[in-house]
Amino acid sequence: MNSNSILKLQIILGNQYNPYINLAIESQLLDEVHENCIRLFLWKNKQTVVIGANQNPYSECDVDSLIKEGGHLSRRRTGGGAVYHDLGNLNFSFVADKKNYNVKRQMQVIQKALMSFGLETEVSGRNDITYQGRKFSGNAFAFTKHQGLHHGTILIKTDSEKLQRYLKVKPAKLHKHGVKSVASRVINLSEVADINSENIIPHLITAFEEVYQNKAEMIDFNSLCTEKALLLSKKISSDDYLYGKWKFFNAKKTANFEWGNIELDINIDEEKRIIRDISIASDSLDPESIETAANILKGASLDIIPQYDSNNIIIKNIVEIIF
């Protein structure tokens, strides 16, 4: 049984705008085990498109324009769709041991902080927080054996022109939300309140302490920039990690489901009637199921439906598309 009297709260304020450093620190926080502890990491990236774990960068982003204009492409551990970060955007990461990981309470921290600016917000869809029906925060999730990560964006004064130019949003996704462009679906909170990416921070800290009824300890960001974290930042900034197999990805099948969209690149040995190789691009919030589906299907015979967990709707849908 958990007790707030022993639940430790920690705050980390990022002081660098490098997406690879920030994502490496976040990943390190997730991999460390801290029982009865919830960490809130607040950070910013400069001119960055962040794609989900299983996304094809070329179908989600105008990579050439982004890089040519001095921007960065990065890939996170969680699923979900592509987002644009700049210094008018604040990012948050909750990292907690599984006993204390609670998405509803974590969302409450964001919503409570915004209430102090007079903004009543709603959690909607798969992973969004909205104000008057327009999205300002997309959220994504990841888990290790002992811990959970919940991170997201808060659009405050993001450059909407660059957001539209860099992100490639599929027409089917816009149609699903009944809008004509990504700009009409999202909102910068500075449009409706006297709020910026700095003055919101004290309100987030206060809301964090009030929701969990404890005082938070400040952790120095620089102390987390260990040699291990710096090595990880180099790995996740490499061409192989960011682009890898996606340079040769050719979508041969596409589909949209309630849980997200998928694109399949399948290499079939017609003589042996087996799937020689398969790559799956998806904005699913469950990257592990996407990877499991690829492992199940690689080497599968086209004449025999492979065995899989029929209760997993993501794997079930992907297998059904092929068989």
Mind listing the pLDDT tens digit for each residue in 280-306?
999 999 999 999 999 999 999 999 999
Weakest mean pLDDT among 150-164, 175-189, 248-262: 175-189
Among 40, 77, 24, smallest CA distance to 55 is for 77
Query: Quick one: pLDDT band at residue 170, thresholds 50, 70, 90?
Result: low
DSSP 283-313: --S-HHHHHHHHHHHTT-BTTSPPP--TT-H
**Summary mean pLDDT of the chain:** 93
Residue 174 has pLDDT above 50, yes or no: no
| Residues 248-276, mean pLDDT to the nearest whole number | 95
Residue 139 has pLDDT above 50, yes or no: yes
Query: Quick one: pLDDT band at residue 6, thresholds 50, 70, 90?
Result: confident
Residue 30 has pLDDT above 60, yes or no: yes
What are residue 151's phi and psi, to 5 degrees? -130, 160
- Percent of the chain past pLDDT 90, that is, above it, reads 91
| Structure token pair of residue 16 | 């660098």
Residue 22 has pLDDT above 80, yes or no: yes
| Residues 98-109, mean pLDDT to the nearest whole number | 97
Q: How far is CA 55 from CA 25, 44, 183, 282, in A?
A: 22, 22, 21, 5
- Percent of the chain past pLDDT 70, that is, above it, reads 94
* pLDDT, position 169: 81
* Cβ atoms 75, 242 nearer than 8 A: yes
List, for residues 49-66, the tens digit of each pLDDT value.
Answer: 999 999 999 999 999 999
Q: Beta 147-155 vs 134-143: how paired, if at all?
A: antiparallel
* pLDDT, position 125: 85
| Residues 222-240, mean pLDDT to the nearest whole number | 97
* pLDDT, position 274: 97
Report which of residues 106 and 185 the model is more confident about.
Answer: 106
Look up tokens 């964006």; give the residue: 153
Residue 178 has pLDDT above 60, yes or no: no
Weakest mean pLDDT among 1-5, 113-117, 242-246: 1-5
* pLDDT, position 287: 95
Rounded-to-integer distance, Cα 136 and Cα 185, Å? 9
